[in-house]
Structures are given as structure tokens and as C-alpha cells.
Chain A
Amino acid sequence: GAVVSQHPSRVICKSGTSVKIECRSLDFQATTMFWYRQFPKQSLMLMATSNEGSKATYEQGVEKDKFLINHASLTLSTLTVTSAHPEDSSFYICSARLTPLSPLGNTEAFFGQGTRLTVV
């Protein structure tokens, strides 16, 4: 299957600093990428939809000024956690979809390996 790569896989930062996480589609172009957050022993929670060349769409309850998303190219989306606090510590996962061949395309999403953020 297609490959989605996240970097870094782990990061520890001090409270009040900002952290940037990269999500790359390595062998395909992705006009749409998604960002999820997962707390221990819980399911993935969709945070936002990242659209190449336009503003991201955030899910209800997710602060757009806290979680800045940039999708500057067809292979790269970044998530910046601004002014991080210990409660932002979590597992952040991105996914990317192959551009469907038709409006009813059924291409599956591919997920990155995740980034474990620890804010101390």
C-alpha cells in the first residue's frame, strides 16, 4: 500500500513551547490529509481535515489557534501544537487519501506511524 510518513515519531517539549509535526505522503499525492489525536486506551479522535492550498477544517471543540495546520504541497501537511501544555500530551496520527478516480471513489486512507508528544 501507499506510504505515509510522520516525523518525529517521539518528541518531548517544555510547557509553553510549540511543536511541529510533519506528515508526508511518500509515493502519492494527497489533496486531503487528516489529523487525529489518541489518548491512552482510547480511540482515535478526528481533529481536522487538511486541504492542500486552502484552510483546514476543524472538528467541533478543536481550537484552530492551538493546533495550526498547514498543507502547502500535495505531499506535506504539518500540525503545530502552539504553547503546548501537559494536557496536550498525546499520540498524534495523520492519514492521507489517494485522490479518487471518480466522485464516488472508494480509495482507502493510509496512516502515518504516529507521533508521541510529551509536554513536561
Chain B
Amino acid sequence: GQQVMQIPQYQHVQEGEDFTTYCNSSTTLSNIQWYKQRPGGHPVFLIQLVKSGEVKKQKRLTFQFGEAKKNSSLHITATQTTDVGTYFCAGLSSTGFQKLVFGTGTRLLVSP
């Protein structure tokens, strides 16, 4: 079945450093969504990418969807302590069952 992997599994940065998490799907995706889950909280939707090669920005966050629509990345510039949490990508397969498959997640810790 469809699998979505994320790397790294965990990253610890100093406040002000940049951070990137990568998401790779075993199948072509029709779209990809990104979520953030704070410790003790629930996943919160950040953004959805639909087009091949799409790039979207939200303040310090930059999201990319690969040309082949099988991978994606989230880059945070100049991290802040408020960025702490686990970032998940979630892919919707372009064929077969329409269900979101969540990536394994990248846990980000930011030290002041």
C-alpha cells in the first residue's frame, strides 16, 4: 500500500537556525497537506499543495511540492521557540482509495 516517509525523524536546533523536513511518497499524489502538532495537542492544518512544482510561503515557512508529485518539503527560516512540535505531511493518492496517508512526522525542538 501507499507509504509516506519523512526525514529526519527528529531535529534539535538553536533558535534562529533554519529547519527543513522532507516527505517522500511511494506513489504519485494528487495533493499533499502539511500539519503541525504541538506537544499534547492535535494536528493543525497548515497548507495544501496541489500542483506539480508548487511553492507556497507562510511568513517564515516555505512549502514545496515536487515536480513528480511524489515528494514535498517544509522549510522554516530562523526558527523560533513557538515552532516546537511535530510536523506531518499527509498525501492523497492520485489513484485508488481516497484516503490521506500521514507521514511518519518530524519532531522539532528549538532551544532558546
Partners in one complex: no
Residues on A facing B (Cβ under 8 Å): none
Residues on B facing A (Cβ under 8 Å): none
